[in-house]
Structure 1
Amino acid sequence: MNRGLTRAVIFDLDGTLIDSAPDIHAAANTLMARHGFAPFTPSETRSFIGSGVPHFITCCLRARDRAGDAALRAQLIAEFIELYETAVTLTQVYPGVPDALTALTATPYALGLCTNKPVMPARAVLAHLGLDAHFPVVIGGDSLTVRKPDPAPLHAAVAGLGARDVVYVGDSEVDAETAARAGLPFALYTQGYRKGPVADITHDRAFDDFAELPGIVADLLS
């Protein structure tokens, strides 16, 4: 219903709208056990999140001294994506997200999603959590031939919404670089999966409570 609006808010997913790290950790350790590797701690797998499944699996194999095994990497990527499509039961929505999305839609802004998560797992977790109706456009890490921080996926989300004035909302260095390269204002959610201090991440506004987001968007697009 939001298509055709000229103002839009586009979101990252993991670490921004949802805390999916527990499901990702569980899926990674299922693979590790299947292939005879030691399990990871939650903090280890959390540090691997943000640049898509191929990067995630590369980090896993690097940590187990198998980064050079291309055949194993390809196999684990395929197996992880299969697990990922049903890895929704441990994921939670961050506090305040549903109310913020409802408020933004009512303003009204068009809402979209631009994530490095593959599009089918992204849609599956959105549906499981009851957020899918907010997002007529979902661009995943496998929707194009490139992923964030290349700006092309974010540009595709903007084009899909037909929007002119857009704010991108994310939680990480990857998201900040994507917004900068796309030439869009960036709102940084500080409770997600960033690797370093907030001060080291380029952003227009930072927030730790989603109740602040509608006001931030209005300011950035005023």
Structure 2
Amino acid sequence: MKPAIVFDLDGTLIDSVPDLAAAVNLTLTARDLPELDLPTITGFVGNGLPKLVERVMTHSGIDMGHHGELTRITLDNYMRAPTARTVLYVGVRDMLEAFTTSGHALGICTNKPEAAARQVLDALDLSRFFAVVVGGDTLAQRKPDPAPLLHVFKQLDAGPRFYVGDSEVDAETARRAAVPFALFTEGYRKSPVSALPHHLAYANSGNLPDLMEDALSGISAR
């Protein structure tokens, strides 16, 4: 049986920070606060929208009592144009076509809200590749808790497993789920590649099918 492969979304398949930054800065300017630059907001990404907003609020000196309100406002800002500036990383579409053609079951496990994730996947013509999509609000838990990832694999009803992501959160999720991990090195990680446990690392998504086949052969031979 071909392994099921589950992907993170932001920072792994898509570069979405420009749209997230636009949503955050709309929230800030509405409160007469200065905008944040792209590198700063990139550093706040990785644990879902509520955590992104919390980090922005801390950075900007906003009373945390407004967290729920500002999270809703920022999500509304984002949902108005979630793919205006978002792009696929190099090789992603060819990679997904290759995995689908070779019979892999594919899923998404992201901390992005599920409705936003599905809207982005639809807009970028990626939904057709994924049988299951789990977002940060689908379950009571979110990554790095392993429950969302294990839930995706259970829904895919497949045997061997592999998780693909770009960050410390993804690496920790895979570790807790005891699932082999492929690290995309060009995403939003903050640590050196060597600091994140992984079975393989790649910089161009078009190379992942061959790299994963080699890695799976090594794992099965142990």
1:188 and 1:217 map into 2 onto residues whose CA distance is: 11
Show the counterpart of 2:100.
105
| Deviation string, structure 1 residues 155-189 (Cα, Å, up to 9, x no partner) | 01101111221110000000000000000000000
Show the counterpart of 2:61.
65
The percent identity for this pair of structures is 43
| Deviation string, structure 1 residues 122-178 (Cα, Å, up to 9, x no partner) | 011111111110011000000011110000000011011112211100000000000
Preserved CA contact (<8 Å) 2:54 2:64: no
Structure 2 residue runs without a partner (length 5+): 218-222
One of 76, 84, 108 as aligned partner of 1:82: 76
Show the counterpart of 1:32.
28
The aligned amino acid for 1:77 is: T
SS in 1 for 2:69: helix
One of 28, 34, 38 as aligned partner of 1:42: 38
Q: What TM-score results when the alignment is normalised by the length of structure 1? A: 0.94
SS in 1 for 2:164: strand
Show the counterpart of 2:206.
211
Show the counterpart of 2:156.
161
The aligned amino acid for 1:21 is: V
SS in 2 for 1:10: strand
Preserved CA contact (<8 Å) 1:32 1:39: yes
| Deviation string, structure 1 residues 19-70 (Cα, Å, up to 9, x no partner) | 001000101000001122111000011111110011101100000122x522
The aligned amino acid for 1:76 is: L
Count of equivalent residues: 216
1:130 and 1:194 map into 2 onto residues whose CA distance is: 26
1:182 and 1:134 map into 2 onto residues whose CA distance is: 23
SS in 1 for 2:143: coil
SS in 2 for 1:112: strand
**Could you tell me how far 1:6 is from its partner in structure 2?**
5.6
1:16 and 1:33 map into 2 onto residues whose CA distance is: 29
2:177 and 2:37 map into 1 onto residues whose CA distance is: 35
Q: What TM-score results when the alignment is normalised by the length of structure 2? A: 0.94
The aligned amino acid for 1:149 is: P
1:158 and 1:176 map into 2 onto residues whose CA distance is: 16
Aligned-pair Cα RMSD in Å:
1.1
2:50 and 2:161 map into 1 onto residues whose CA distance is: 29
1:220 and 1:118 map into 2 onto residues whose CA distance is: 31
Show the counterpart of 2:122.
127
Structure 1 residue runs without a partner (length 5+): none
Preserved CA contact (<8 Å) 2:149 2:177: yes
Preserved CA contact (<8 Å) 1:117 1:141: yes
One of 146, 156, 170 as aligned partner of 1:175: 170
Large movers: runs of 4+ above 4 Å = none
1:83 and 1:120 map into 2 onto residues whose CA distance is: 14
